[in-house]
Amino acid sequence: MEGVISLSLKEARNCYPGLLERYTKKDIGVFIYVPKDIKIRMPYITSRNPYTLIIMEPDSELTYVSENDSVSVEAYIGPGAHLYFLNLSRDSKDIYTDSNLSFFLKKSSICDLFFLDLAKNRVKRDVKVSLLEEDATSNIRGIYILEGNELLQYHILQEHKAPFTTSNLVYKGILKDDTKGLFKGEITIEKEAVQSDAYQANYTLILGENASIDTIPILEIKNNDLKRCTHGATVGQIDEDILFYMKSRGLEDKEALKLISIGFLEEIIEDISSESIKLKVLKYIEEKLEVNN
């Protein structure tokens, strides 16, 4: 499409000198540039690049789907722009997933994030959403399912730095077998970020006999003029009564567990706007729940 740039960083640096300097000094990776008013509705799907720099000019739109595990992204979302970022991570060949993502939002921009973590290894993910200007909005949704002896470590930061900003996070995780999870979700609201609306919810379902979870939802609030600032977290297991009911209707243990798990995650799956990706996510989740069950 007109003016859209998608190049390696090295090439971009040669072709468009001066454009990258403000954002990164890195040379290895991919550069995506969406000019003003350009709306890319088709998902941009990639599978393997270590680092991606996304620059979105005012009122542009981009859907970016990465199926790479160790994805590192820095995205600068211009005024009124809309980034829809999905990271579907599964069947990793790496032994270690280390992912660093930062999103910087300008005035009235929107950043929708979705993370699916089914990776069969150790996952470490740091996500930062920085709401720099008025009316910026970020919705973060995530699902993780761990089995075997997988480990997962999450740190998500929702940073409100300007008035009338909104951030909203809902995460659901299922821990099977001997897995361990650590989920640290942090909301910071600076003094100037009046009328902010910050929400964070983290629900964990423990299925494994030896699974464990640490959840640490942190709030740091330096301002009293807020629309809302709330976080909630729950940890629990499947309700015996529900399981009993389903079994009394002729379902097997396995099948019942799978249905309940999907029901638990459904709220988040439903939120995915792209129909094709929604089906893909559902398929991946079903596959993951099938194994060893």
Phi and psi based region of residue 137 (left: phi greater than 0; alpha: psi -120 to 50; beta: remaining):
beta
Among 4, 19, 221, 262, binds another protein (CB under 8 A): 221
The span from the CA of 274 to the CA of 43, in Å, is 9
293 binds another protein (CB under 8 A): no
Using DSSP, state whether 242 is helix, strand or coil: helix
292 lines the binding site for another protein (CB under 8 A): no
Is 210 near another protein (CB under 8 A)? yes
Answer for which of 14, 149, 237, 276 binds another protein (CB under 8 A) is 237
What is the distance between the alpha carbons of residues 90 and 182, in angstroms, rounded to a whole number? 19
Is residue 149 near another protein by the rule CB under 8 A? no
| 151 near another protein, rule: CB under 8 A | no
- Which residues, 6+ apart, have CB-to-CB distance to 149 below 8 Å? 177, 178, 179
Q: Does 218 bind another protein (CB under 8 A)?
A: yes
Binding of residue 222 to another protein (CB under 8 A): yes
Asked whether position 223 contacts another protein by CB under 8 A, the answer is yes
Q: Give the span between the Cα atoms of 31 and 172, in whole angstroms.
A: 31
**Residues 14, 149, 234, 292: which binds another protein (CB under 8 A)?**
234
Residue 97: CB partners within 8 Å, gap ≥ 6? 69, 70, 89, 119, 121, 122, 123, 124, 125
Retrieve residue 27's tokens: 């040379």
Q: Does 241 bind another protein (CB under 8 A)?
A: no
Nearer to another protein, 3 or 236 (CB): 236
From candidates 11, 91, 225, 267, binder to another protein by CB under 8 A: 225
DSSP type of residue 143: E
Q: Are 39 and 63 in contact (CB under 8 A)?
A: no
Q: Is 212 in the site for another protein (CB under 8 A)?
A: yes
Site membership for another protein, residue 206 (CB under 8 A): yes
Instruction: Decide: is 179 part of the binding site for another protein (CB under 8 A).
Output: no
Please identify, among the stretches 6-14, 111-119, 139-147, 199-207, the one whose residues bind another protein according to the rule CB under 8 A. Answer: 199-207
Task: Tell me the closest approach of the beta carbon of residue 153 to another protein, in angstroms.
Answer: 14
CA separation for the pair 160, 154 (Å, rounded): 19
- Gap between the Cα atoms of 5 and 188, Å rounded: 34
Based on the shown chain and the rule CB under 8 A, indicate whether residue 208 belongs to the binding site for another protein.
yes
Q: What angle do CA 126, 90, 265 make, to 5 degrees?
A: 80
Residue 243 interacts with another protein (CB under 8 A)?
Answer: no
Part of the chain binding another protein (CB under 8 A), chosen from 5-13, 89-97, 210-218, 256-264: 210-218
Binding site for another protein (CB under 8 A): 175, 191, 194, 204, 206-226, 228-237
